[in-house]
Amino acid sequence: MGSPALVVRKIELDSTPSTIGALFAGWGISMLVFGVFILQFLIYFTHYTRDSRWRKLLVLSMGVLEVAHQIFVGHTCWKYIVRNFGNEEETFAAKAVWSFTAIVFLNVVVSAIVKIFLAWRIYIVSSGHWWWTALITMLAFAQMALGIAFSIAASKQPINSLIALKSLATASLALGAVADVVAASILSYYLHTMRTGYKRTEGLINKLIMFSVNTGAITSAFSVSVVILYQTMPHNFIFLSIWFFVSKLYSNSLLATLNSRAGHRIKESIQSYSSGDHALTFMRPRARSTADVHVLNSKEPQPALHISVSHEVSVIRDDRDDKVRALGDASMKEDSGHAVAV
């Protein structure tokens, strides 16, 4: 027999597993994704100590926002699950807890920051084609504005009345999903046009395209799933269980982009050695004969042996290679100076 529905001031919510249980599940999943973020955060500050100050400030600000976000998620769940356990009707009918509206605000802020970062990367690889950057930036700010409006409206009514705010939430999440798809598509297009024909560069471009598509697909898919669940099942909190960790998907995608630079360097080094660009000679000691000992002990001057080794390298520079290295290295510098030796 299923759990009875909750009737809160003539608004019927679904059974406890899909309301309180969904909130608890959302907190657990959010905590798991937060752990992945902390790991990537530590990896970044361990391996990229020479990054620019603004990039370190960006990552640090994301860390502060995500810590605050997770605290607010925990406080919201504590309020509705633990503190008022057994009194759900009165709890859900009261004004929404302040930490819930703070979650909404931080969600749209984190999402906007990551989208603007992607827009800037597109500006770099597109050689300054600002219109795509402007489009994605406008979508990011529009989503943030709608999200803030939803946050203000949600603070004035109980959590069980969120069904009345479906239009605001749907518009905000839909704009976010559209921006993700547009950013991933445009970035993949410009990466595809930067192919040079060199095997090493081609491999790096393919990895970057796959990474961009996967990142945009994941964030947009979860945003769309929240919209669908909100529209089809507004009387439960299953959509909240997913919405709790959507911002962490964005922050993880940002750090994964920055941390992937080490992987590209290691793979390039392995390919370089395996292709014969760097030859290593292993010397083994041999047994000395009597003649060798006689020569070593002899006081007569021995003829000097001079060895001269010359190595000629032809270097071809390509502007497209510069952009690939700038993107793969995520340093975002216009003078990456990447050279391909043949």
- Which among 67, 217, 212 has a CA at the least distance from the CA of 59? 67
Tell me what pLDDT residue 42 has: 95
**In 3D, which of 260, 104, 101, 249 has the Cα closest to residue 180?**
249
C-alpha pair distances (Å), 309 with each of 83, 273, 305, 306: 78, 20, 13, 10
Q: Which residues pair with 341 in a beta bridge?
A: 315
At residue 206, the pLDDT reads: 74
Q: How far is CA 278 from its chain centroid? A: 34
**CA 90, CA 9: separation in Å to the nearest integer?**
9
Please tell me the distance from the alpha carbon of residue 188 to that of residue 146, in angstroms, as a whole number: 28
According to DSSP, residue 51 is labeled S
Residue 79 per-residue DSSP state: I
Q: Given this model, what pLDDT does residue 314 score?
A: 47
Contact 176, 111 (CB under 8 A): yes
Cβ atoms of residues 240 and 22 within 8 Å: yes
Which pLDDT score, from 0 to 100, does residue 58 have? 95
CB 6 within 8 Å of CB 92: yes
pLDDT of residue 214: 75
What is the reported pTM?
0.71
DSSP notation for 192-214: HHT--S-HHHHHHHHHHHHHHHH
Hey, where are the domains in the chain?
Answer: 5-271
| CATH class of the domain whose range is 5-271 | mainly alpha
Print pLDDT tens along the chain (342 aa): 445 444 444 445 555 667 788 888 999 999 999 999 999 999 999 999 898 999 999 999 999 999 999 999 999 999 888 876 666 666 666 678 889 899 999 999 999 999 999 899 888 888 878 888 999 999 999 999 999 999 998 888 877 677 778 888 889 989 998 999 888 888 888 877 777 666 666 677 777 777 777 777 888 889 889 889 888 887 788 888 898 999 999 999 999 888 877 555 544 443 443 444 443 333 344 444 454 445 445 555 555 555 555 545 444 444 554 454 445 554 434 333 333 332
Q: Residue 240 class from Cβ within 10 Å (0-12 exposed, 13-18 middle, 19+ buried)?
A: buried
Q: DSSP letter at 81?
A: I
Task: Compute the radius of gyration of the chain from its Cα atoms.
Answer: 29
Residue 228 amino acid letter: I
